[in-house]
Structure 1
Amino acid sequence: MAKASLGWFRQASGMASVSFTGAVMLLMATAFLGVTADTTSDDVTALNTFYTTLNSPSPLTNWVAQNGDPCGQSWLGITCSGSRVITIKLPSMGLQGTLGYNMNILTALVELDVSNNNLGGSDIPYNLPPNLERLNLENNSFSGTLPYSISQMSSLKYLNIGHNQLSGINVMFNQLTNLTTLDLSDNKFSGTLPDSLSSVTSLTMLHLQNNQFTGTIDVLSDLPLTDLNVENNQLSGAIPDKLKGISNLQISGNSFSNSPAPSSPPSTASQSPPRQPSKGNPGNSNKNPSIASNGDDGSDGGDGGGGGRSSKVGGGAVAGIVISVVVLGAMVAFFLIKRKSMRDQRGGDPEKNEPLTLRPIASGKFNQLRAISIVSPTAKEGLQKTVSMNLKPPSKIDLHKSFDESDPTDKPVKAKKIDLSSIRATAYTVADLQMATESFSANNLIGEGSFGRVYRAEISDNKVLAVKKINLSALLSNPSDFFIHLVAKISKLNHPNLSELDGYCSEHGQYLLAYEFYMNGSLHDFLHLSDGYNKTLSWNNRVKIALGSARALEYMHETCSPSVIHKNFKSSNILLDNELNPHVSDCGFAELIPNQELQESDENSGYRAPEVTMSGQYSQKSDVYSFGVVMLELLTGRKAFDRSQPWPQQSLVRWATPQLHDIDALDQMVDPALEGLYPAKSLSRFADAIALCVQPEPEFRPPMSEVVQSLVRLVQRSSMGSVLSCDSNSRRYDDTGDYAF
């Protein structure tokens, strides 16, 4: 009995042991499943930040400001696929605040809907999720401009930012070929419709109503639209025939004409009704009024057969003579203008809308006449007007100006007056800035750049600015108009990595620009001036500066329309804020650059691309070269050109380029101040990007968008994800502004 009891006890113990083991295995399996279900850390970080910028609203159940598991804990409005967040839908939740500054790390997100809330009060952050297919920000309070990062959302199908307070469109639509729905209605947009809209070849619904758009809608004529609403704007011109067949077309509240866009001015059409071409003048439907009158008299002739026929023949003869004169005149105009364009190497007068179009080419010479259009070709008056316009001497030429076919600054800067109200900057008086700088005291002098001295200015509200005094009087005959034109262009540039224009002053022969003041000075000073105050730039911060500067150039080259070439990109023009975010300065100054003193200075010689040194030809690719030199400075800690070095090492590019693909030599090149604290793979990829940028042949250098992507991949592969969200909209850093791997 005892043995039986003992056997039963052992059996029971064995069963208990098995049960216990099974339970442990079950718990382990559950734990394992829980781990695999956890949301990706980047997605958690982005949603934590988003929750904080929304002021931690209570309606968002299960959301937390730190850590958490959005996918496993069923956060309100969040849908996941595996461990990735794929949709955020929070419409009509009464939310306030704004979007998170680091939402670009939500790389699996395909839909973001925060419509019908009270978000905004400032610009839409440019760090939006890059792979969105649907973005709905309708009916919020966003102001400022539509961020350029939307330009690169090639998967985007639906974009609705209607009913906000946006006033600018920094978006190029060329890559948005999948976009089918675009709603920009009920905002404060103005100006003409972007030309790049014509590239949105899948667009079927476009709502632009209740804005202040001007110009024509011709750019929309080839789109497959079925729903177009442009009501209550300031649009004009004719409605293209292709748009008249749209099933849902709403155009009221504009100044459209009722006829389709004419191929030639409608002056004659309104004076005589259309008529069938006669046998004596086949196909001539564009008649001068006097010719039409002759034809009518002849064809109506019921008074006498002979009289009618005589008049008809006379009309045809006159028409033939006039046409011959027109053709001969056009040929004469063609050769005169061709000869004149060859002699002057400059053509056209933009003030007069001359039909002559000239295009500079890389050699510095020009293509000859590209097209001649003659207004009212059979009208003597129209012919005389056109020929006289074509023969008008070109406007004054800056003999020191250099040209490039991709340089948008080659056009003469003259022309129509600028509407000062369109300038997005404060108009200061000289007295204001004198007081703020203590009469431009030497104590407030903080630097001297290519275009003038820069002073520290403390405005009455304790706002600190950097005021640049520009001397234009030696360069131009009418510096005041030129300066206002320059300010208008610069004020349109809007990117977190550009130096922000705060205001300007044009009084009493004084030309001043006021920019945001950046405490850490320039990258050049940070790298090359050892005053015992500046701390060493860590590797992460160097990569951050390179990436931010690259994004600034990408914006100027590939987002701005027309594109903007910097021409003077160098480390002294990269300013650093408190968090060591870069802000590129002197943007939009390209028209002042072709200047012998500037081109021949030692400081700039190290940044100049070979083609600029040889021919003075600037382009986007010469900017890419200069950017590569700045990357070399970040890598080595050396100056772009340094006479204190032995001759073979004076030019940084000449010394460093042969060593960029030699691992051992590369380690020896690195700035000693880094003390070896950098990842070897990250260093190698950084060197690869430099090698591409500083190639001597411009055609082999990559566009800035590719440089940006290579740096982004470098960051991602080096576990430096936090660097991707470092920009002027990102104000969350540790005390040192640094990041650990």
Structure 2
Amino acid sequence: MALGAAGVAALLLATVFTGVTGDTNSDDVTALNTFYTTLNSPSQLTNWVPQNGDPCGQSWLGVTCSGSRVITIKVPGMGLNGTLGYNMNLLTELSELDVSNNNLGGSDIPYNLPPNLERLNLNKNNFIGTLPYSISQMSTLQYLNLGHNQLSDINVVFDQLTNLTTLDLSYNSFSGTLPESFSNMTSLSTLYLQNNQFTGTIDVLTDLPLTELNVANNQFSGSIPDKLKSINNLQTHGNSFSNSPAPAAMEPPSDTPPSRRPSPSRTPSSSKNNSSPSQGSDTDNGGSDGKSSKVGGAAVAGIVISLVVVGALVAFFLIKRKAMRRQQGGDLEKNKRLSPLASGKINQLRPIRSISLSPTGKELKNNVSMNLKPPSRIELHKFSDENDPTNKPATKKVNLSSIRATAYTVADLQVATESFSADNLVGEGSFGRVYRAQLSDQKVLAVKKINFSAIPDHPSDFFIKLVANVAKLNHPNLSELDGYCSEHGQCLLAYEFYKNGCLHDLLHLSDGNSRSLSWNNRVKIALGSARALEYLHEIYSPSIIHKNFKSSNILLDDELNPHISDCGFAELIPNQELQESDDNSGYRAPEATMSGQYSQKSDVYSFGVVMLELLTGRKAFDSSQPRSQQSLVRWATPQLHDIDLLDQMVDPALEGLYPAKSLSRFADAIALCVQPEPEFRPPMSEVVQSLVRLVQRSSMGAGLSSERNSCRFDESGDHTF
């Protein structure tokens, strides 16, 4: 009996202990398991395991918990390699992530960072390329250290980072001017930008509450604003400022960490003579009787008088010459103002921004034997005024080694596609045919063979511009560019291959191979596609209009996540050709149909049409339907606000498995997007928010919990699938 009582006591004690520690939240376990795997399962992370486990209950090294949630991960200086996990966004309670002073990277910083971080430290790693724009939405962030990496592009809008107090971007390869949104970091006190290639002025920093600023060793120019000169810890040397402070004021404070001190190799020399030539000693002139000074003064006066006389004569002849030209009706200045060439508008080419990446490319990292194309630069000629004899041909050089994509040879892709055989043809669109390509390591790509028949001049120049721009795009719902080929007159782009094909085929082909899309999956596809367009319109700079958004350009991966293709292509094809394309019939906004002019709002209209396809299962335009039903928008719009008619419109393949409120709100979003007047259509950011609210307010999770592919939404209202 006593043993029984002892056993009960032990059991109660164990229960209490379990209640205190608790099992770690399943999402946190999943994220940390993935993180451990992407770090190549390092033994120095004691107690970590690649599957299951209990980070909070088993005291994983560097992990701190509160209850069942992981709140900090701090593993600096542990010789870790690999990268961050792709699903770190599941760590919704994580406030601090410190992986500094390791060997992580060799690729971009993943997009799915923990959304509610207060401190993020990736200092002294090997991350390359572009910052993920998801940082733009981390409004709780207070400390961000990305110093000492190989990052090259700021793809972040800082408008929401009003709590950020410390930002370190030092010792990277950032270039271009500082983003205007820097001015919105109203709590920023410490900013390190040293040892990059920033250009332009630092005026955008004027009104920030900075107490420490280091912009040394960049390519800044202009003047230092007076407000910034009052900063005690100010370092500006190694630039081209017109009013730099004295060198002594630029020395870093004694408590500045070594990682933030300017590089000795780029510090200006201090060996100049400190004495001014005009400040001679008394002994130099002590024996003078003053005569030489008088003679020198007379000589100077004579020179000044001569210059005044010459200047007057020159001015007289210039005035007389101008008067004669006016009499002859030949006012050259007026003609120049009227000349379209003189206005400079014809020379305004969109600049190609440099994208830095690992020069080896993705394929070499995976030990794939691919021959990289040898040329490192290609010249793009700007338009010029041929009538100006002083004009010299201007060129813009694109560094191919800086493009974030593998350079394949034609031979590589011919082997992978079996000489672009018809058996490997998977599609044909506005810009060319797409072939399935299988590389020697069994990796499968989709190779797009660009048709440049619509571009009469310099197709290779346009192609390099295309590659440079497309490789710069970075969003999980965009089709990822893997590589390119530009040789022997061929222009080829290689993308990740998505096994589930495009949304159009999954919705409309009845070949027995397509599987039915659940309501949750349709919402998932709509939301992911909306986020992609939001990125192109409102996050990426300069903004991009897709112009060719349709269900056949929405590719689906194994988990039915959407990936938008053909982004960045439309600028190379005239609006008129897009307008006349039968493939776009049904997706074109009224104003685009009438005038051939496309805008962000015409993309919004096209997105609304795709939502209608998801809702009804019908094609955007179907000539096999009765005439009144051929245009999906015309047929569906009058029924969107009638609940009875709306139910009748729903795709029969859903078999009634959808929440009524969710359906109604989905229809409301469609109605806004397909309004005939572009000014009444919402921006994509509002469409995204309406879809997020749709999920939050509906009973999708409860009503469809039995579905294998149902959506999950976290407590913050953000979506995870």
Q: Judge same fold: TM > 0.5, yes or no.
A: yes
Question: Of 500, 503, 527, which residue of structure 1 is paired with 2:483?
Answer: 503
Asked if 1:230 corresponds to 2:215, the answer is yes
Cα contact 2:553–2:565 (8 A) shared by 1: yes
Structure 2 Cα separation of the partners of residues 134 and 344 of structure 1 = 52
Partner secondary structure for residue 120 of structure 2: strand
**Aligned to 2:221, what secondary structure does the other structure show?**
strand
Q: 1-side partners of 2:556 and 2:694: how far apart?
A: 22
How far off its partner does 1:491 sit? 1.5
Encode CA deviations 1:229-262: one digit per residue, 9 max, x unaligned.
23455x253452444443223345x45355479x
Residue among 137, 150, 169 paired with 1:184: 169
CA change 1:491–1:322 in 2 (3 A) is: farther
Per the TM alignment, residue 78 of structure 1 is displaced from its structure 2 partner at its CA by 6.0
Bigger mean CA deviation after superposition, 47-56 or 584-593: 47-56
Rounded Cα–Cα distance in structure 1 between residues aligned with 2:615 and 2:66: 40
Deviation at 1:315, TM superposition (A): 8.4
Structure 1 residue 564 displacement after superposition: 1.0
Deviation, 1:701, is 1.9
Structure 1 pair 508–46 and aligned structure 2 pair: CA distance change class (3 A): closer
Is 1:579 aligned to residue 575 of structure 2?
A: no
C-alpha separation between the residues in 1 aligned to 2:190 and 2:712? 47
Task: Provide the rounded CA distance (Å) in 1 between the counterparts of 2:430 and 2:88.
Answer: 38
Which whole-Å CA distance do the structure 2 matches of 1:67 and 1:715 have between them? 31
**Residues 1:665 and 2:665 aligned together:** no
Instruction: Tell me what 2:403 maps to.
Output: 423
C-alpha displacement at 1:490, in angstroms? 1.4
Structure 1 counterpart of 2:693, which letter? Answer: R
Displacement of 1:603 in angstroms is: 2.8
Instruction: Classify 1:321/1:540 alpha carbon distance in 2 versus 1 (closer, same or farther; 3 Å).
Output: same
Residues 1:472 and 2:452 aligned together: yes
Alignment of structure 1 residues 200-215 onto 2, 5 Å: 200-213=185-198
The superposition leaves residues 542-586 of structure 1 with CA deviations (integer Å, 9 ceiling, x where unpaired) of 222212212211211122111111100001111112222211111
Instruction: Please state how far the C-alpha of 1:702 moved relative to its aligned partner.
Output: 2.0
Give the structure 1 partner of residue 543 of structure 2.
563
Match in the other structure for 2:629: 649
Matching of residue 347 in structure 1 with residue 327 in structure 2: no
Deviation at 1:673, TM superposition (A): 0.9
CA distance in structure 1 between the aligned counterparts of 2:474 and 2:303, rounded to whole angstroms: 74
Question: Do residues 151 (structure 1) and 136 (structure 2) align?
Answer: yes
Q: Please tell me whether residue 613 in structure 1 is matched to residue 593 in structure 2.
A: yes
1:446 Cα deviation from its structure 2 partner: 1.5
Asked whether the equivalents of residues 165 and 188 of structure 2 are also in contact (C-alpha less than 8 Å), the reply is: yes
Deviation track 1:13-54 (CA, whole Å, cap 9, x = no partner) reads xxxxxxx9xx99xx89x9899599887765566556556656
Q: How does 1:83-232 map to 2 (within 5 A)?
A: 87-92=72-77, 98-213=83-198, 217=202, 219-221=204-206, 223-232=208-217
Equivalent residue, structure 1, for 2:359: none
Q: CA deviation at 1:152?
A: 1.8
Unaligned 5+ runs, structure 1: 1-19, 262-296, 354-387, 396-413, 723-733
SS of equivalent residue, structure 2 residue 345: coil
Deviations along 1:575-630, whole A, 9 cap, x unmatched? Answer: 11222221111111122343544312333121111221122221111111111111
Counterparts of 2:200 and 2:624, CA distance in 1: 58
Contact residue 435 and residue 447 of structure 2 kept, 8 A = yes
Report what 2:240 is aligned to: 256
Gaps of 5+ in 2: 246-296, 352-383, 714-721
Q: CA separation of 1:60/1:671 partners in 2, compared to 1, >3 Å: closer, same or farther? A: farther
Find the aligned partners of 2:177 and 2:191 in 1 and give their Cα distance. 15
CA distance in 2, matches of 1:656, 1:629: 10
Q: Are 2:536 and 1:534 aligned? A: no
Question: Which of residues 580, 584, 601 in structure 2 aligns to 1:600?
Answer: 580
Name the structure 1 match of 2:718. none
SS at match of 1:627: helix
Distance 1:66 1:510, change over 3 A: closer
* Sequence identity (%): 72
Where 1:246 maps in the other structure, the secondary structure is coil
| 1:337 and 1:390 in contact (8 A); partners too | no
Q: Give aligned pairs, total.
A: 609
Per-residue deviation, 1:135: 2.0
Query: Are the equivalent residues in 2 in contact too, given 1:226–1:248 (CA < 8 A)?
Result: yes
The alignment partner of 1:256 has SS state of coil
* Cα distance, 1:157 vs structure 2: 2.5
Aligned to 2:425: 445
Distance 1:346 1:472, change over 3 A: farther
How do 1:396-407 and structure 2 match up within 5 A?
Answer: none
Pair 1:643–1:53, CA change in 2 (3 A): same
Q: Show the counterpart of 2:534.
A: 554
Please tell me the root mean square deviation across aligned C-alpha atoms, in Å: 4.7
TM-score w.r.t. length of structure 2: 0.72
Q: CA deviation at 1:151?
A: 1.2
The 2-side partners of 1:685 and 1:214 are apart by 47
Give the letter aligned to residue 416 of structure 1. K
**Residue 485 of structure 1: aligned partner:** 465
More divergent stretch after superposition (610-619 vs 191-200): 191-200
Aligned to 1:371: none
Aligned equivalent of 1:691, options 668, 671, 674 = 671
Letter aligned with residue 224 of structure 2: P
Task: Say if 2:138 and 2:160, in contact at 8 Å, map to a contact too.
Answer: yes
> How far apart, CA to CA, are the structure 2 residues paired with 1:652 and 1:442?
33
What SS class does the counterpart of residue 240 from structure 2 fall into? strand
CA contact (8 A) 1:190 1:213 kept: yes
- Match for residue 631 of structure 1? 611
Distance 1:390-1:142 versus aligned 2 partners, 3 A rule: same
Q: Report the TM-score, using the length of structure 1 for normalisation.
A: 0.70
- The secondary structure found in structure 2 opposite 1:228 is strand
Which deviates more from structure 2 when the two are superposed, residues 140-149 or residues 608-617?
140-149
Secondary structure, aligned partner of 1:456: strand
Aligned with residue 494 of structure 1, among 469, 474, 492: 474
Cα offsets for 1:264-309 (capped at 9, x unmatched): xxxxxxxxxxxxxxxxxxxxxxxxxxxxxxxxx99975899xx799
Distance 1:352 1:526 in 2: 37
| Cα drift, residue 739 of structure 1 | 5.5
Q: CA deviation at 1:62?
A: 9.4
CA contact (8 A) 1:52 1:65 kept: no
Give the letter aligned to residue 347 of structure 2. Answer: D
The aligned counterpart of 1:383 is none
Distance 1:660 1:626 in 2: 17
- Change in CA separation of 1:74 and 1:700 when aligned onto 2, cut-off 3 Å: farther
- Give, in angstroms, the shift of residue 316 of structure 1: 12
1:543 counterpart = 2:505: no
Whether the 8 Å contact between 1:298 and 1:311 is mirrored in structure 2 is no
Amino acid corresponding to residue 518 of structure 1 in structure 2 = Y
Whole-Å separation in 1 of the counterparts to 2:309 and 2:80: 80
Offset at 1:634? 1.1
Paired position in structure 1 for 2:381 = none
Residue 514 of structure 1 corresponds to which residue in structure 2? 494
Distance in 1 of aligned mates of 2:303 and 2:155 = 68
Q: Does 1:703 align with 2:713?
A: no
Q: Which amino acid aligns with 2:214?
A: N
